[in-house]
A = this chain, B = another copy of it.
Amino acid sequence: MHAVIMAGGRGSRFWPKSREKLPKHLLDLFGGRTIVQETVARVLPLVPPEKILIVTGESHAGALIRQLPELPRENILIEPAGRNTAPCIGWAAMEIARRDPGEVMLVLPSDQIILDAERFRSVLAAAADAAATGDVLVTIGIQPTGPETGYGYLECGEKAFDARGEEVFRVASIREKPDRATACEFLARGGFLWNSGMFVWRAGSILRAIGRWMPDLNDGLGRIAALPASAPSREEFRRIYEQLPAVSIDYGVMEKAGNVLVLRGDFGWSDVGSWDALWEISEKDACGNAASCRLVEVDAANVLVHGAKKLVALVGVKDLIVVETEDALLICRRGASQDVKKAVVEIERRGWKELL
């Protein structure tokens, strides 16, 4: 079994900690290992290092290689340009299929938080068994905790079979990120799961699906496969890659395919998409404040303080996110952290490149 870890994100939502050169998955948000290091460590008991591929962009490859010395250098696949998930997955599948088209591959985002790694591996191992049963595309669905509009939703159909004691369901339909009313309706009806972005399939299965539903991508991948394995072909590779359709695998394949299965990922999952999400999963004191520095609280509640090395005193404030780095200080209302991206845009507009 192979694992493909997609590490292409920029993560400006975690500014000022995340930067152009340091996206979310390369950060140590919890003061220990970085998120991508956690992700690799989590699959190592399932997949040996030589079968773990990481797909990333040119600007982050150096940092990734430094953070993951246990992986063979040739397992870091460097995209000449970010083209969303379908080209990334297709390229990795092609690399794996070159060795064995029947090989099962796990596709994992690099930047998710999993609380129960043991349970995670049990579900993924079951999903791999399910994927090995035939020409199917297996996804991991997450029980929704609220009417989130930032995720796709998987509608569960009938149960297909059990794998290693885990129930495997057919997916009746996949709904793109819904509006709030629709998300509420999904929750009221029941039987909907969030699309976690984790997939399991045989390399040959996803390539066949791409061949059927994304002919442009299929053609591009074919041209890449035909390139000679010599250095000058890098420029040709770049030209082809930059023109691959920038489409997500969800939209390009999963929503159209009829052979999609799902397992429930009940292992404590968060995609930690914002500072607000980090507050949610952080350990908090009795007043809801979370900090790793010395903290003095006077009538303060529900504040996340991240990255500060000095003493922080909170007086009469609530629902704040405070992030300090060497060169920047963010003060954000809790619930408004999606707007941190707007601050990054403003910094870009003013030309303060060193802060991006």
| A positions within 8 Å CB-CB of B | 15-16, 294, 296, 298-299, 303, 308, 310-317, 320, 322, 324-333, 335-337, 339-340, 342-343, 346-347, 350, 352, 355
- Please indicate the chain B residues that have their CB under 8 angstroms from the CB of A315 in the complex: 330-333, 336-337, 339-340, 342-343
A303 contact set on B, CB distance < 8 A: 331
A343 to B296, CA, bound (A): 6
Is the CB–CB distance between B339 and A331 below 8 Å?
A: no
Decide yes or no: A317 and B331 within 8 Å by CB, A298-B342, A346-B296, A346-B298 being known contacts: yes
| Residues of B with C-beta under 8 A to A329 | 308, 310-313, 322, 324, 329
**Majority secondary structure of chain A interface residues (helix, strand, loop or mixed):** mixed
Beta-carbon contact of B316 and A352 below 8 Å: no
* C-alpha spacing A352/B313, complex, angstroms: 13
Q: List 5 A-B contacts (CB under 8 A).
A: A296-B343, A313-B328, A314-B331, A315-B336, A315-B337
C-alpha gap A355/B311 in the complex (Å): 8
* Contact indicator A310/B328 (Cβ below 8 Å): yes
Oligomeric state, in number of copies? Answer: 2
Closest B residue to A335 using CB positions: B316
Q: Please, how many angstroms separate the alpha-carbon atoms of A342 and B294 in the complex?
A: 16
B346 touches A311 (CB 8 A): no
- B298 and A316 contacting across the interface, CB-CB below 8 Å: no
Residue of B nearest to A324 (CB): B329
- Chain B residue numbers with a CB within 8 Å of A311 are 16, 327-329, 347, 352, 355
The answer for the CA separation of A330 and B337 in the assembled complex, in Å, is 21
Q: Which residues of B contact A322 (CB under 8 A)?
A: 329, 331
CA distance A326 to B356 in the complex (A): 24
Residues of B within 8 A of A313 (CB): 15-16, 328-332, 340, 343, 347
| A316 near B294: Cβ-Cβ < 8 Å | no
Residues in B neighbouring A332, C-beta threshold 8 A: 313-317
Q: How far is the CA of A355 from the CA of B313 in the complex (A)?
A: 11
Known: A299-B339, A313-B347, A322-B329. 19 other contacts (CB 8 A): A15-B313, A16-B311, A296-B343, A298-B339, A298-B343, A298-B346, A311-B328, A311-B347, A312-B331, A313-B330, A313-B332, A313-B340, A315-B333, A315-B337, A316-B336, A316-B339, A317-B332, A329-B329, A331-B331
Give every chain B residue within 8 A of A296 (Cβ-Cβ).
343, 346-347, 350
Q: Is the CB of B16 within 8 A of A336?
A: no
CB A179 to nearest CB in B, in angstroms, measures 22
A314 to B337, CA, bound (A): 11
Contact at B340–A326, with CB atoms within 8 Å?
no
Candidates B314, B327, B340, B342; contact of A310 at CB < 8 Å: B327
Assembly CA distance A311 to B346 (angstroms): 12
A214 to chain B, nearest CB (A): 38
